[in-house]
Amino acid sequence: MNNKTKLRWGILGAARINERLMPAIVEASNSELIAIASRRPGAAAQTLAQYAPQQQVQTYDSLEALLDDPEIDAVYLPLANNEHAEWTLRAVESGKHVLCEKPMALAVADIDAIQAAAQRHKVTVMEGFMYRFHPQHARVRELINSGIIGEVRSVRSSYSFMMRPARMYRLAENVENGGGAMWDIGCYAIHSARMFFDQPAASVTAIAKYVESGADIATSGIIDFSDGKYAHFDFSFERARRCEYEIIGSKGGIKCHNVWCTPTDVPVISWWTEDGQQNEERLTPANHFRLEIEHFSDCVLNGNAPALSLDDAKANCQIIVAALQSAATGQLIKLT
């Protein structure tokens, strides 16, 4: 593969999020969109016509047919949450590299199985937390490393929006089947909060409001990273739009105002210090979906490990599962 300049992608599923990912694959300098598959006859062709109309792309009415296509190096997997682990494993066993939408799995053991299979088949697998590829987080890291806010002591991550009636199907499944806010947006809140702590989480506690199906619609919680370092997360499908995190250190704080930046949004980071400095930085817009695809393709083409490891996916999944358990039982769940 190292003499190739472009990774050849297939998309497994005609999902709504292809609106973002399909153009990202087409635009990525080191990637080529080869095929898209859906189990619904005609849906793959329809998605292609909608989001990448000028492209010569093979369409399949079966997911297996795409996995059998020897022209495809890597698969982007945007199926429903409770299908991710099974189809990631099937793709890996077909010898494909896989970029799987978040959350990669609903249980840590499933990621263990994916990791073992990926090693056996010598393929790269990454969980698709696209936001991490936006340069605004590197700028936040740079500010922390400069020492301006001192030692990181707490992170608050807040994600919410009012769910439109047309999207209520995201609450149709219970949390055990991947439905609800935790698996949909809570995974971001937990992932972004974890980004600023070096040590593993010691325990987690959470409370949640559920709808009739057993899906959570509003959840809040605290992750204990030991030694008084806490991450506070809250997310909801019935609150006004927020997608932000705030880091509080021993000498000041930094806030990232829009984690779900679209390619045209101007990213804003603000920071303040106890000695009276404050600033608001407006950064250059960036497309984190394209940057994610370019990163993954680059890793595969050049044999590098991706920025988001499967150990990171397991750590996130472990906290999600524990937070759901805490919300269901009212208990604090120890992780170590």
Contact residues for ligand NAP, defined by CB under 6 A: 13-17, 38-40, 43, 78-81, 101-102, 128, 130, 184
From the CB of 52, what's the least distance to ligand NAP, in Å? 15
Q: By C-beta, is 64 or 280 nearer to ligand NAP?
A: 64
For the chain, give the number of residues: 336
Question: What is each CA distance from 73 to 9, 52, 94, 124, 155, in whole angstroms?
Answer: 6, 20, 10, 10, 38
Question: What is each CA distance from 255 to 32, 199, 246, 312, in whole angstroms?
Answer: 36, 21, 4, 23
Q: By C-beta, is 65 or 299 nearer to ligand NAP?
A: 65
Backbone angles phi, psi at 309, to 5 degrees: -85, 170
- Distance, CA of 327 to chain centre: 22
Q: Report how far residue 293's alpha carbon sits from residue 307's, in angstroms, rounded to the nearest whole number.
A: 12
From the CB of 325, what's the least distance to ligand NAP, in Å? 21
From the CB of 146, what's the least distance to ligand NAP, in Å? 30
Structure tokens at 168: 């209520």
- Distance, CA of 207 to chain centre: 22
Q: Which residues contact 176 (CB under 8 A, 6 or more apart)?
A: 106, 214
From the CB of 138, what's the least distance to ligand NAP, in Å? 19
Q: By C-beta, is 102 or 137 nearer to ligand NAP?
A: 102
- Distance, CA of 55 to chain centre: 27
From the CB of 200, what's the least distance to ligand NAP, in Å? 25
Q: By C-beta, is 172 or 328 nearer to ligand NAP?
A: 172
The residue at minimum Cβ distance from ligand NAP is 13
Q: By C-beta, is 38 or 318 nearer to ligand NAP?
A: 38
From the CB of 195, what's the least distance to ligand NAP, in Å? 16
Q: By C-beta, is 16 or 122 nearer to ligand NAP?
A: 16
